[in-house]
Homo-oligomer: A and B are copies of this chain.
Amino acid sequence: MTEAELAALAAQALRGLGVDRIQAEDTARILVLGDLFGHHTHGVSRLESYGERLELGGIKASADIRVERVAPGMLKVDGDNGLGAAVGMRALRAAMEAARESGIAIAFARTSNHFGACGPYCWLAAQEGFASLVGSNATPTIAPTGGRDTRVGNNPLAIGVPRPGSDPVILDMAMSVVARAKLRDALKRGESIPDTWATDREGRVTSDPKAAIDGFLLPFGGYKGYGLAIMVDLFAGVLSGASYLTRVNSWIDEPALEQRIGHFFVVIDTARLGSAEWLSGRVADFAAIVHETPAADASQPVRLPGEREISEMKRQQRDGIEVDGTLVKKLQAWAAKGRREA
């Protein structure tokens, strides 16, 4: 399927579920970017759970997303329990508009839901010359360092820097060794997992994906990964006015409940720092220094954050995006429902 076809299908499916045009298109944009980056767990496959929650009323199809500018460079966004990516896109656009005046702006979003991956927002910001930091909190799945209970989410954080006329550098990561979706994938395929990924309910390391799903993910880098998860929650949950830590509802266990998660978007107008040529030249020099590092394995050249994702994007834009047949049928059924009712 081409990028445009997949985006159209995803948006039509959401329209069929009662979502307005802009929110449907914004959500489709973020999810298709997730697929393009090769993060299919954060691509249109997410519409299965979004669709279920829209049908159950756990996510509001006709959300009235509101943006309040509380300072020249600061926005508070109330998502009204709408689709997370629709809330996220609205917040990102508002932040970029404010940053064109202030040089930097931050949007805090609350009363939101799962908003896809963070990297796509940094990608879109970079297309318009903005460096960015984007984060979200999430259902708790990680135990604090030294603790025996899941209290903090596997809160994702992405950081992007544009390279005018070429590809930006984007680091997109969650705080666990692997994403929770990989446990679900292993379970689906009936495979075991490395015992460095997660523990069971009692805090014992496990290679059983089912036990790991019932237990908790291990943070990367020990207390540093745990510490980052905490700071992202303080920004995305506490400062935003959203829920945080164990006060966030699980979209898996309780799909009909509001999650009330939050996000933050910091965008920085690099045009205020120097010309596009200046920045482009500096990032190119920076990239060259990294790329020229002698590789430990000659077949694996040293890469910058995001390079794998961007090359995956180019490949799929050329060859098409492979989408699971069952998912396509489900999306088509939702889309048809919209046309019947229209």
Binding site for B on A (CB under 8 A): 70-74, 76, 99, 101-106, 108, 131, 133, 143-149, 151-152, 159, 161, 169, 171, 173, 203, 220-225, 227-228, 230-231, 233-235, 237-239, 241, 244-247, 266, 268-270, 272-274, 279, 282-283, 286, 289-290, 293-297, 300-305
Contacts and interface: CB of A to CB of B under 8 A. Distances in A.
Number of identical protomers: 2
Nearest to A273: B239
A273 to B, nearest CB: 6
Given A147-B294, A171-B231, A295-B148, A71 B220 contact: no
A245 B173 CA distance: 22
A303 B151 CA distance: 12
Nearest to A230: B305
B230 A283 contact: no
Given A286-B244, A293-B148, A234 B161 contact: yes
Contacts of A144: 290, 293, 302
Given A224-B173, A231-B305, A246-B289, A269 B72 contact: no
A303 B146 contact: yes
27 contacts: A70-B273, A71-B102, A72-B72, A72-B101, A74-B268, A76-B273, A102-B102, A145-B302, A146-B302, A147-B296, A151-B289, A152-B290, A161-B234, A161-B235, A169-B231, A171-B230, A173-B224, A220-B221, A220-B224, A223-B305, A230-B304, A230-B305, A233-B286, A238-B282, A239-B273, A244-B282, A245-B290
A9 to B, nearest CB: 33
A223 to B, nearest CB: 8
A103 B71 contact: yes
Contacts of A169: 230-231, 234
A265 B284 CA distance: 24
B239 A270 contact: yes
Contacts of A235: 131, 159, 161
A269 B105 CA distance: 12
B295 A234 contact: no
A268 to B, nearest CB: 6
Given A73-B102, A148-B293, A295-B147, A274 B241 contact: yes
Contacts of A301: 146
A60 B95 CA distance: 39
Given A72-B73, A102-B104, A147-B296, 6 more contacts: A71-B102, A103-B106, A104-B105, A146-B295, A147-B302, A239-B268
A297 B147 CA distance: 8
Contacts of A279: 238-239
Nearest to A274: B241
Interface core residue of A73, A151, A235, A286 (most chain B CB under 10 Å): A73
Contacts of A245: 286, 289-290
A246 B103 CA distance: 29
> Which of A171, A245, A286, A293: most chain B CB closer than 10 A?
A293
Nearest to A133: B133
